Amino acid sequence: MGMLEGKVAIVTGAGRGLGREEALAMAKEGCNLVVNDISGADEVAKECEKFGIKAVANFDSVTDYKKTAEMVEQANSKFGKLDIVVNNAGIIRDRMIFNMTEKEFDDVVAVSLKGTFNLTRHAAVYFRKMGKEDANLKNFGRIINTASDSGLYGNVGQSNYGAAKSGLATFTLIVSRELSKYATVNCVVPSARTPMTTDETPKLVEWMNTKTQEGFDIFHPAHFAPLVVFLASDKARKINGEVFRAIGDKVWVYRGWRAVKMIENGGKPYTPELLAEQVKNELMKNLPSKMEGVATPDVLFGK
């Protein structure tokens, strides 16, 4: 019996890359699926059905508020319920801020951040309704959002994508509290080889094809999918409002902004002059690197 036997999930952005691997991994564990993407969803749905589950394709854009409501309705009409939402859909439009157009910013935010809100909002209404009708369900629902390293650390040329993905981590923390009676809400941060990280970002191709000395394909997207399967399962019922980052065979749990150092002025308000002196000579001295915790293949795997 699979870890997700009899469950029903919506996976967005599942026509290729990470979303595809997540859908396949969930299907292997017995989960019925609404496979969403603007292209490729039908092919992935057929692949998933080879594992003996039921799957239906959905080609709607997550940027459409009404269409995401229909995704929840589709899951109900096709399978009789909804248990899991994996918000994976995202796009990149890399550009330095002085060259970025309004449309390039809006499009990325619309898919990654607004799209996640759209589906989460409708799923939340459903999970709350079901939870109120049957208290025995407890926090039966699962929502898994997808952020990125760009959102955690910031990548040059991705102010749009990074802002959206950072917003998703905070969105997760807040919504996890609001839905704690009815669903868990967690965030995952993948580092994996996908069309978005290779075809659309050629400078990452060499890095994303890194292997260990033993031949382990570090960034193969299939390595990331088990984390999503686990968080979608009943075994993760007590895990809520967390951010997990995964690369290859490694998984981290992250916590958000934290104070790393402080100065004070003995109960008196600061003057600009005093701040100029103490910030330079005290507050900014010996700070940890802004990139602390960033994992590269050579550091992680000894390449």
Catalytic residue IDs: 148, 161, 165
Name beta bridge partners: 33. Answer: 9, 55
Which alpha helices (H) appear in the chain, and where do they start and end?
17-28, 41-49, 65-79, 102-109, 115-133, 149-152, 159-178, 195-198, 205-208, 225-232, 272-278, 297-301
CB atoms within 10 A of CB 118: 23
Q: What angle do CA 184, 190, 193 make, to 5 degrees?
A: 145
Distance CA 62, CA 117 (A): 9
Spatial neighbors of 286 by CB under 8 A, at least 6 apart, are none
Tokens of 73: 């309705």
Whole-angstrom CA distances from 130 to 83, 86, 140, 154, 239 are 10, 19, 9, 39, 20
- Report CA dihedral (271, 274, 279, 282) to the nearest 10 degrees: -140
Residue 185 tokens read as 């809400």
Other C-beta atoms lying within 10 Å of the C-beta of residue 167: 18
